[in-house]
Structure 1
Amino acid sequence: TVLGAGMPLLEAVRISTGVLKNTFIKERLDRVGKELERGGGFAEALAASGVFPSLAVRMISAGENSGSLGQVLNDLAEFYEEDVNTRLAVLTSAIEPTLMIVMGALIGLVVLAMYLPIFQLASVAI
């Protein structure tokens, strides 16, 4: 990570802000950078932004106090990456059967639309 390479926290926050595409989070992270410029704590600035989960803020606070912020940020990144992958796997496994049911219903409607007129013709007396 950039912190592990010796980059100052404020510069790392500015670089992170520069690469974000989500304007909402970008604005909030910019506020965090401004708070750091004023000498505020990283965890307090993140908590004030209202964007980051309280678990992450508490862990970052502990990392700041213990001097292991870089390691804590790596651990948080791994945790949230696993969380996202798990949620995607659950979503994917839920979408597949739903899609199969919808496709089956559509095919059933097409077959019904094709055969219903034939059955109606068969019931008409000659």
Structure 2
Amino acid sequence: MGEMLWLASENTKAIQTMRAKAWEAARYPLIIGSLALLILTGLIIGIVPKFESLYSRMGSELPEATQFLMSLSQLVQHHGALTLVGAVLLLTAFYQGLKTPTGQIGWDWLMNRLPVISPLRQELFSHRLISNLELLVNSGVVLPDALRASADVIPSPSYQRALIEASRSIRQGQRSDLALNQSLLSPLMRQLWSLGVRSGRLTEFLRIGREVLGVRLHNRLSILTSFLEPTLMAVLGLLTGGVMLALYQPIFSLGDAL
């Protein structure tokens, strides 16, 4: 009993650590994205109108990028409140749509096909699945029931369906390493699972997999965070520089003509 409580505590702590690390990786893009939106809005509202009055007096034809920027500035100035309300309504509808079964399936399908997100997501789900299975199997729950129960802790419709199907196949006599769909486990965990089944020491290999996946996930999330920071700052600089270049392009063109 004491060992089970310790294992449950360790699993909870590991899941919370991974969740915090994943949120840390996602938090930086949210902050930079919000900052970029504020900076661009400030430029469009405060700076672009001054150039617009200047260029209207010049009477020359503006480059397409500058025309787009001027049109966007007019839209924000004259219909800013309506645009904001529309954006809020659109985001609210999107958020509510994600709560529906169809929305969850669509979002899951998209996440499973993104180059960077998909493999990281698979390892996160593998870690959560293995941690939960280790606890349940060590508590005496048979593997088919443990797989079905673990489906409830994985926030992915495709993952849940695959776990339920694997549980059904094992009940019908199929070996567990063959019943588990390849998309359920990371390549490393598939190897460990197969070794555990063939050696008759599945719980021991589940523990090894949980520990190894925990270290791998921590390292990958740390690398992702360190990569996102300079990349997003560069994107912010490019956006700001692009706006300023579009503003000054007519002046550069006028200088070349003179």
TM-score scaled by structure 1? 0.73
More helix by share: 2
Aligned to 1:60: 193
Change (3 A) 1:101 1:57: closer
Structure showing greater relative contact order (alpha-carbon pairs closer than 8 Å, 6 or more residues apart): 2
Classify 1:111/1:19 alpha carbon distance in 2 versus 1 (closer, same or farther; 3 Å). closer
Counterpart Cα distance in 1 of 2:169 and 2:245: 65
**For 2:214 and 2:227, how far apart are their aligned partners in 1?**
20
CA distance in structure 1 between the partners assigned to 2:222 and 2:152 by the alignment: 30
Residues 81-92 of structure 1 aligned to structure 2 (within 5 Å): 81-92=214-225
Provide the rounded CA distance (Å) in 2 between the counterparts of 1:105 and 1:44: 49
Contact 2:182–2:190 (CA under 8 A) maintained in structure 1: no
CA drift of 1:63 comes to 1.0
Mapping of 1:59-78 within 5 angstroms? 59-78=192-211
Q: Is the 8 A contact 1:43 1:58 kept in 2?
A: no
Asked if 1:40 is matched to 2:163, the reply is: no
TM-score, normalised with respect to structure 2: 0.39
User: Residue deviations 1:26-82, cap 9 Å, x none?
Assistant: 111111001111011111111xx2313343223212212222211211211222222
**Contact map agreement 2:169 2:179 (CA 8 A) in 1:** yes
Cross-structure match for 1:102: 235
Task: Assess, with a 3 A threshold, how the Cα gap between structure 1 residues 103 and 35 changes in structure 2: closer, same or farther.
Answer: same
> In structure 2, what is the Cα distance between the partners aligned to 1:109 and 1:20?
42
Quote the sequence identity (%). Answer: 30
Count of matched residue positions in the alignment of Structure 1 and Structure 2: 117
